[in-house]
């Protein structure tokens, strides 16, 4: 693509007014990310009218900044109080909060900001260099490929199992069951909705996650009568050499996964961060530590969701298709400003398109610079006395879950899943598989049924298409490899019975 046009774009962005707009967007985005319930979709939509007075370039630059800024902000509450600020940061709770308990909150937030910056910037480079070929690649992912990708995602359950496969399956199956609530996508009939119209669209999974993680943690703390379970030590902000070495691979993998999934229309940032986290189970240096505060468990999903946020603009710019709900809001902003995103955009309004792209580079840098010093501010939360902090978080949880849809039903859902979260902790059932299946389940179902509509009910559609076949084979390898390893070991040496049982349970 044309370097001169990109430079022109930078010239547009680097004016005082537009720089201020980027800054305001990053700040607001961070705040939106921090508030549970007010996710990027609602947040961006609420703020659209406030950009009406600006010129088109300025308005869109600011809204885009709000969008990726929120991906930075979502991590903060995940790490500090075990409550996801938005869905794409839910999985970060697991290792992020574990790091906080170990007194490494600073490093966790630091690496999240750095990973987010790298992920976002790499994705923008991809946008500049290869937007057109990548977008046609994204379109090749039809329903059958989408389904295969979801199977691959689910196969990562094997990796997320923790200490017991049985417990992981309990958690995963419950997630799938909860994903069934809603309207049957093919028959149009309500399922498990108990006549409540609110449930026709399924359980609001942000409310479920906020309950499971946030409220569950509080209840577990109260039940144990734990005093100050979280270490109030914040520690360093910048990771040391060892941590950097550990997380550099994770950031790379996360960025790549987020980038690739971002160009597929219909994929969301939360799916990206989940798959990135799952991949760490296979590839991370400290994979045994994953779930107990491994830095990779923060670095990878956070890089992924930011890479996703930026690469999701590729289908918007080149095809006029918003890849995710938040990008759809952004598309609305384009339209309101008289710009039509799509193949004609670079011909009719090239200056604005390039200004927006240039603003992504500037904005990601700004978010990083802004977020590192802010970490000290956010972590002051941990210094609040425990009883006060607990009550504050409770208020936060209730307001947050109410504001998702302005509905008290979501607040009740949050409370119910808080109690479920308590039982999970008591029975030592991992939360990660539930998050995985709850979020990926609906994708899997709709893509399965669409594929079968396409093939008139013929299942061979999944193995006759090359991309889908490759993904399914990969999933099969992931599922079967621990079993094969187990068998080989059994042949190599005769383990004691006890050892073999332990092996079994570790699978």
Partner 1 sequence: MKKSMLVSGLCLVVALFGAGCAKAEKSGDGATDENWPSGETMEMIVGYSAGGTTDTMARELAAELEKKLDVQIQVVNQDGAGGQQAYTDLANAEPDGLTIGTINYPTILSTMIDKSKGATYKLDDFQLLANHVNDPRITVVQPDSDYKNADDLVEYAKENPGKLRGATSGLAGGGHFSMLKLEEATGADFSPVHFDTGQEDAKAAFLGGHVDVYFASVGDALEIIESGDGRPVGLMDEERSDLLPDVPTFKEQGIDVQEAGMRGYSLPAGVPEERLKILSDALEEIITSPEHKKALAKLSLVPAYMDPEEYAAWLDEQLPTVEKFNEVAMEDK
Interface residues with partner 1 (CB under 8 A)?
16-17, 20, 24, 27-28, 31-32, 35, 37-38, 41-50, 52, 139-143, 183, 185-190, 195, 197-198, 200-201, 265-266, 315, 319-322, 325, 328-333, 335-336, 338, 340, 342-344, 399, 402-403, 405-406, 446, 450, 453-454, 456
Tokens of 298: 């923060």
When the beta carbons of 20 and 380 are compared against partner 1, the nearer one is 20
| 91-111 per-residue burial string, b: 16 or more CB within 10 A, e: under 16 | bbbbbbbbbbebebbbbbbbb
Q: What is the dihedral of CA 191, 193, 196, 201, to 10 degrees?
A: -70
For residue 399, how far is the Cα from the chain centroid?
22
Cβ proximity of 6 and 357 under 8 Å: yes
Closest distance between partner 1 and the C-beta of residue 178, in Å? 18
- Burial state string for 157-177 with b = 16 or more CB within 10 A and e = fewer than 16: bbbbbbebbebbebbbebbbe
Task: State which residue, 9 or 323, has the beta carbon closest to partner 1.
Answer: 323
Q: Confirm if 262 and 305 have CB atoms less than 8 A apart.
A: no
Provide the token pair at 403.
């504001």
Q: Which is nearer to partner 1, 41 or 178 (CB)?
A: 41
Q: Shortest Cβ distance from residue 363 to partner 1 (Å)? A: 16
* Nearest distance, CB of residue 406 and partner 1, angstroms: 7
Strands 190-191 and 182-183: antiparallel
Q: How far is the CB of 56 from partner 1 (least distance, A)?
A: 11
Task: Supply the minimum distance, in Å, between the C-beta of residue 110 and partner 1.
Answer: 25
In which residue are the tokens 């006890």 written?
498
CB of 152 to partner 1, least distance (A): 19
In this complex, which beta carbon is closest to partner 1, that of residue 1 or of residue 20? 20
Give the H or E element holding residue 468. Answer: helix 466-492
Shorter beta-carbon distance to partner 1: residue 343 or 490: 343
Give the shortest CB-357-to-partner 1 separation in angstroms.
20
What tokens appear for 476 in the block?
Answer: 């099969």
Comparing CB distances to partner 1, the nearer of 53 and 387 is 53
Calpha distance 410→412 (Å, rounded)? 5
Return d(Cα 247, Cα 300) in angstroms, integer. 8
Q: Are 72 and 306 in contact (CB under 8 A)?
A: yes
Which C-beta is closer to partner 1: that of 184 or that of 504?
184
Minimum CB distance to partner 1 smaller for 199 or for 213: 199
Calculate ∠ Cα 246-249-134, nearest 5°. 160
CB of 395 to partner 1, least distance (A): 11
How many other C-beta atoms are found inside a 10 Å radius of the C-beta of residue 14?
Answer: 13
Least CB distance to partner 1 at residue 279 (A): 25
Query: Which CB sits closer to partner 1, 10 or 200?
Result: 200
Enter the tokens of residue 23: 């800054």
CA distance 455 to 438: 27
Q: What is the DSSP string of 393-451?
A: HHHHHHHHHHHHHT-HHHHHHHHHHHHHHHHHHHTT--SHHHHHHHHHHHHHHHHHHHH
What is the distance between the alpha carbons of residues 280 and 282, in angstroms, rounded to a whole number? Answer: 5
Closest separation in Å from C-beta 135 to partner 1: 9
Q: Are 193 and 413 in contact (CB under 8 A)?
A: no
- The C-alpha atoms of residue 314 and residue 322 are separated, in whole angstroms, by 9
Least distance from partner 1 to the Cβ atom of residue 58, Å: 11
Q: Which is nearer to partner 1, 287 or 450 (CB)?
A: 450
Cβ closer to partner 1: 193 or 248?
Answer: 193
């Amino acid at each position: 693509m044309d370097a001169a046009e990109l430079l022109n774009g930078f010239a547009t962005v680097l004016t005082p007014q537009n720089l201020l707009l980027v800054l305001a967007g990053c700040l607001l985005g961070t705040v939106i990310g921090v508030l549970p319930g007010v996710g990027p979709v609602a947040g961006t939509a609420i703020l659209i009218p406030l950009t009406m007075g600006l010129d088109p370039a300025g308005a869109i630059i600011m809204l885009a900044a709000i969008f990726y800024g929120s991906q930075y902000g979502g991590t903060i509450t995940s790490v500090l109080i075990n409550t996801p600020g938005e869905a794409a940061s839910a999985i970060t709770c697991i290792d992020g909060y574990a790091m906080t308990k170990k007194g490494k909150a600073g490093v966790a937030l630091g690496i999240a900001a750095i990973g987010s910056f790298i992920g976002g910037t790499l994705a923008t480079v991809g946008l500049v260099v290869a937007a057109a070929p990548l977008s046609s690649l994204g379109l090749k992912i039809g329903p059958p490929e989408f389904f295969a990708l979801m199977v691959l995602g689910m196969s990562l359950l094997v990796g997320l199992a923790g200490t017991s496969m049985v417990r992981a399956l309990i958690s995963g199956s419950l997630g799938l069951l909860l994903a069934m609530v809603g309207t049957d996508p093919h028959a149009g009939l309500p399922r498990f909705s108990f006549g409540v119209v609110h449930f026709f669209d399924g359980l609001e999974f942000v409310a479920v996650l906020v309950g499971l993680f946030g409220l569950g943690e509080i209840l577990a703390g109260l039940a144990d009568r734990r005093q100050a379970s979280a270490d109030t030590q914040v520690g360093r902000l910048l990771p040391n050499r060892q941590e950097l070495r550990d997380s550099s691979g994770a950031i790379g993998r996360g960025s790549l996964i987020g980038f690739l999934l971002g160009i597929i229309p219909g994929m969301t940032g939360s799916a990206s961060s989940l798959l990135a986290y799952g991949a760490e189970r296979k590839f991370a240096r400290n994979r045994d530590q994953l779930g107990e505060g491994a830095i990779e468990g923060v670095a990878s999903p956070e890089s992924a969701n930011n890479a996703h946020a930026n690469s999701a603009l590729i289908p918007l710019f080149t095809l006029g298709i918003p890849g995710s709900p938040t990008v759809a809001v952004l598309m609305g902003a384009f339209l309101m400003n008289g710009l039509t995103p799509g193949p004609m955009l670079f011909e009719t309004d090239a200056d604005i398109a390039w200004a927006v792209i240039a603003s992504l580079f500037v904005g990601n840098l700004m978010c990083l610079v802004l977020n590192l010093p802010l970490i000290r501010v956010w972590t002051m939360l941990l210094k609040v006395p425990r009883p006060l902090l607990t009550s504050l978080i409770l208020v936060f949880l209730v307001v947050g879950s109410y504001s998702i849809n302005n509905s008290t039903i979501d607040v009740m859902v949050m409370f119910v899943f808080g109690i479920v979260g308590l039982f999970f902790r008591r029975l030592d059932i991992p939360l990660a598989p539930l998050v995985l299946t709850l979020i990926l389940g609906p994708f899997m179902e709709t893509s399965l049924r669409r594929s079968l509509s396409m093939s008139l009910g013929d299942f061979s559609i999944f193995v006759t298409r090359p991309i889908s076949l490759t993904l399914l084979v990969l999933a099969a390898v992931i599922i079967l490899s621990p079993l094969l390893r187990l068998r080989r070991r059994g042949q190599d040496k005769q383990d004691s019975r006890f050892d073999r049982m332990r092996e079994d349970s570790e699978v």
